[in-house]
Amino acid sequence: MNDIGYLSLVIAFGVAAYATLAPILGVKTGREELVRSAENALLALFGLVTLSSAALLYAFVTRDFSVRYVANYSERGLPLAYTISAFYAGQEGSLLFWTLNLTLFGTIVVIQNRRMHRALMPYVISILSAVALFFLTLMVFVTDPFARLPFTPPDGRGLNPLLQNPGMFFHPPTTYLGYVGFTVPFAFAMAALLARQLDDAWIRSTRRWTIFAWFFLGLGNMFGAEWAYGVLGWGGYWGWDPVENASFRPWLTGTAYLHSVMVQEKKDMLKVWNLALIIMTFGLSILGTFLTRSGILSSVHSFGESTLGAFFLAFLAVIILGAFGLLINRLPYLRSENQLDSFISRESSFLFNNLFLVGIAFTVLWGTFFPILSEGVRGVKITVGPPFYNQVVIPIGLALIFITGVCPLIAWRKASMTNLKKNFLQPLVTALVGGALLFIFGVRHLLALLSLALLIFVTATIVLEFYRGTRARHEMAGEGYLRAFFILIARNKRRYGGYIIHLGVLMVILAITGGAYKVEKEATLKKGEEMQINQYVLRYEGLSLYPTQTQQVAAATVTVFNQGKKVGKLTTEKVFHKDEQQPHTRVAIRMTLKEDLYIILAGFDESGTATFRFIINPLMVWMWLGGFVMALGTIIVMWPDKRERRRAARYALGEAPDAV
């Protein structure tokens, strides 16, 4: 099986090389059959990579420890689910996983476009195959997933226990789906440039791909945060670690891109900018993949020794130089007739939305790479930590929330006083009243107060939109309010799905804002002793030590009293794997809509005395709820729409587009 796995990769390498070159040759010589054969080659590529992945999975499931990768990341006792997730736990496997997803997406693109976008497809095929070729080169020549050990060890080294939980089962694949997904819009963008077909066909046809990639990247970040919070057990969810930053950046530029393409669709503006954004997003995705692998930045994630740094850097240079070079070369084709008319307009609010998002992305990039830059320039490594990011990103973030409220409602071209009054007067008053009430009830943290007032403002604009739309349907079509509400969403999936995503983002920001009121306390307690944190009284009930089959567990139980009322017991543990020196701390979390009570067992001695760290994380649960709401909105936005599909099909076949 292992030979089949490697052999498939070798053949795939050849096929990918063919699929990269053949379509270009086909265009140059006008031989359509070459393009068709390259499309089929891409399908074959998917088959080969699937076969290779199946072989690796087979090696994992059958515990074939003669394969180095399998021996390094699994062991006999590892449950099946984590044996499967071990597939993408390390470098070689994640490269294979990347390629598998890429060729799957390529296959879907080919099937979707058998009759559409014929002028773009040769280039799309070529670029997708070229990216696959890069990853296959790494696996075939540099770091073979099927490499054998000189002898077969009796058991594998196992998977890090920190990676054995649901969060880590989902975090890598979702993040990768995001990274890989951006390859498709990138390929279409490059194809549009190469074919000089610079209307917005490439944008329209990749809209779902972009949303798909954006969604999964966001989800990946969310799973990562959830894992950091619930499993890593330091009381927070985000540490501005270089690798966290790496997956955050393409999400930011991807978000900017999703918004600014609307300006191109409606107003035929920002063409160059949109191309630049998708190049940046794809570049940052590759950079993200690379950073996770290279270990050039010190991170809690580092995968240790890796030989791939130079390859990724070269690939990244080719992408950035090639893509931007091409973009500059095609500038004459990218003129726009339209111009900005006024600052007080939808166009301009999109522009600021983009500036803020890209501004955050570059701040994060700058902060992450500053140690390397400063070492190169001045010979000293200088680093910036979380205070830097918080100080810079929070003000930009607040401005961004404000724009989130303004952008969807302000008029195109130039907003009149009437337009502004109609859409913003009520939300503004609501926000001011809400802010004043919060102040009276004790919210005195300036940034938190500002953030909350802005959240109220944006929520009010969205609620108002739903209310007006529903009422209009109710009055015109005579539908009941509930029915009118659902039909309103169903008939305008992009718009109202978008609002729902915005609501989800607001919930996430609410949770982040809650961090301003985080309270932390350490306490050493003897059995039966109590301590107080905010309105909670916590009584330590004692430590129980017991062995399980593979572990030694120390469990500390705490009874929680909320405002004098007993609300339950929490248990936090330290687990010692039998043959590991490294303990694993399991935190205890009591979640409510208002706040999380978070308890870490920091240490204990033989007498049963224990030291705890107690944390109150206000509004934390809204982050996860916000994630669900964003997912709901994304599903609505992505849901197939008959009218839209008909329009797109006509458009792609070269007929005149409808007025939108």
Question: Residues in the site for other proteins, rule: CB under 8 A?
Answer: 72-73, 89-90, 157-160, 162-163, 232-234, 298-304, 339-340, 343, 348, 351-352, 355-356, 359, 363, 366, 370-371, 380-385, 387-389, 391-392, 395-396, 522, 524, 579-585, 600, 602-605, 609-611, 613
Rank residues 289 and 430 by Cβ distance to other proteins and give the closer one.
289
User: Taking the complex as a whole, how short is the minimal distance between the CB of residue 504 and other proteins, in angstroms?
Assistant: 26
Q: Are strands 595-604 and 588-591 parallel, antiparallel or unpaired?
A: antiparallel
Rank residues 103 and 306 by Cβ distance to other proteins and give the closer one.
306
User: How many residues make up the chain in this entry?
Assistant: 660
Rank residues 300 and 545 by Cβ distance to other proteins and give the closer one.
300
**Contacts by 650-658, CB closer than 8 A, 24 or more apart:** 651/201, 651/204, 652/116, 652/117, 652/201, 652/204, 652/205, 653/115, 653/116
Identity of the amino acid at 445: H
Rank residues 524 and 562 by Cβ distance to other proteins and give the closer one.
524
Q: What six digits make up the tokens of 453?
A: 């007032």
User: Taking the complex as a whole, how short is the minimal distance between the CB of residue 481 and other proteins, in angstroms?
Assistant: 42
User: Taking the complex as a whole, how short is the minimal distance between the CB of residue 396 and other proteins, in angstroms?
Assistant: 7
Rank residues 493 and 584 by Cβ distance to other proteins and give the closer one.
584
Helix (H) or strand (E) holding 180: helix 166-181
Q: What six digits make up the tokens of 39?
A: 């499309």
User: Taking the complex as a whole, how short is the minimal distance between the CB of residue 70 and other proteins, in angstroms?
Assistant: 12
User: Taking the complex as a whole, how short is the minimal distance between the CB of residue 366 and other proteins, in angstroms?
Assistant: 7
Do 614 and 538 form a contact (C-beta atoms < 8 A)?
yes
**What is the C-alpha separation between 647 and 458, in angstroms, rounded?**
32
**What is the C-alpha separation between 523 and 599, in angstroms, rounded?**
11
**What is the C-alpha separation between 613 and 359, in angstroms, rounded?**
36
User: Taking the complex as a whole, how short is the minimal distance between the CB of residue 339 and other proteins, in angstroms?
Assistant: 7
User: Taking the complex as a whole, how short is the minimal distance between the CB of residue 22 and other proteins, in angstroms?
Assistant: 38
Rank residues 502 and 584 by Cβ distance to other proteins and give the closer one.
584
Q: Which of 154, 46, 171, 29 is nearest to 102 (CA)?
A: 46
User: Taking the complex as a whole, how short is the minimal distance between the CB of residue 95 and other proteins, in angstroms?
Assistant: 14
User: Taking the complex as a whole, how short is the minimal distance between the CB of residue 384 and other proteins, in angstroms?
Assistant: 5
Rank residues 90 and 504 by Cβ distance to other proteins and give the closer one.
90
CA 653 to chain CA centroid, nearest Å: 33
**Contacts by 598-601, CB closer than 8 A, 24 or more apart:** 598/235, 599/538, 599/558, 599/570, 599/572, 600/233, 600/234, 600/235, 600/572, 601/554, 601/556, 601/572, 601/573, 601/574
Rank residues 362 and 517 by Cβ distance to other proteins and give the closer one.
362
37, with CB counted inside 10 A (0-12, 13-18, 19+), is middle
Q: Which of 219, 216, 221 is nearest to 247 (CA)?
A: 221
How far apart, in Å, are the Cα atoms of 409 and each of 252, 355, 435? 22, 19, 22
User: Taking the complex as a whole, how short is the minimal distance between the CB of residue 354 and other proteins, in angstroms?
Assistant: 9
How far apart, in Å, are the Cα atoms of 467 and each of 18, 485, 538? 56, 8, 45
The conformation of residue 116, written as its DSSP 8-state character, comes to S
Rank residues 170 and 389 by Cβ distance to other proteins and give the closer one.
389
Per DSSP, the three-state class of 307 is coil
**For residue 541, which phi and psi values (nearest 5 degrees)?**
-90, -10
Q: Which residues of 494-518 are buried (b: 16+ CB within 10 A; e: fewer)?
A: bebbbbbbbbbbbbbbbbbbbbbeb
User: Taking the complex as a whole, how short is the minimal distance between the CB of residue 544 and other proteins, in angstroms?
Assistant: 17
Rank residues 107 and 306 by Cβ distance to other proteins and give the closer one.
306
User: Taking the complex as a whole, how short is the minimal distance between the CB of residue 221 and other proteins, in angstroms?
Assistant: 18
Rank residues 159 and 512 by Cβ distance to other proteins and give the closer one.
159
Q: What six digits make up the tokens of 45?
A: 């590529």
Rank residues 312 and 389 by Cβ distance to other proteins and give the closer one.
389
Rank residues 526 and 566 by Cβ distance to other proteins and give the closer one.
526
User: Taking the complex as a whole, how short is the minimal distance between the CB of residue 302 and other proteins, in angstroms?
Assistant: 6
Q: Which residues pair with 560 in a beta bridge?
A: 538, 568
